[in-house]
Amino acid sequence: SAAAPPAPARGATVALNKPKGVLCTHRDELGRETVYDMLRQKLPPALQSHYHALGRLDADTTGLLLLTTETPLVAAATHPENHLPKKYYALAAGRLDDATIESLRGGVEL
């Protein structure tokens, strides 16, 4: 396996609007597009490095995804002991009845 490119002299963090169908994984055994493929295509050579996602979005989910070369930032943002609060917003097709809305207000265990 090829060595990872060196990290920039200063850390880098990028915001990516992840489209539907793109995976949040470094490698996909089925050859599907990943957020890291997108970075390699879009970032200038000076910013090419080994990035880590600050969280994940499902393949069918779109939205903001932060990726960084700052390993301590990844650890602080994703380690369960830090209890970093997260909010997710979703659009539902059709109308939800009152019971479903009330159930969702209590949160969804992932």
Q: What is the pLDDT along the chain (110 residues), one digit of tens a residue?
A: 556 555 555 788 999 999 999 999 999 999 999 999 999 999 888 787 889 999 889 999 999 999 999 989 988 888 888 888 877 777 778 898 999 888 888 877 76
Q: What is the pTM of this model?
A: 0.71
Catalytic residues: 58
Rounded distance, CA 85 to CA 62, Å? 20
Residue 100 CB neighbours (<10 A): 11
Count CB neighbours of 37 within 10 A.
Answer: 16
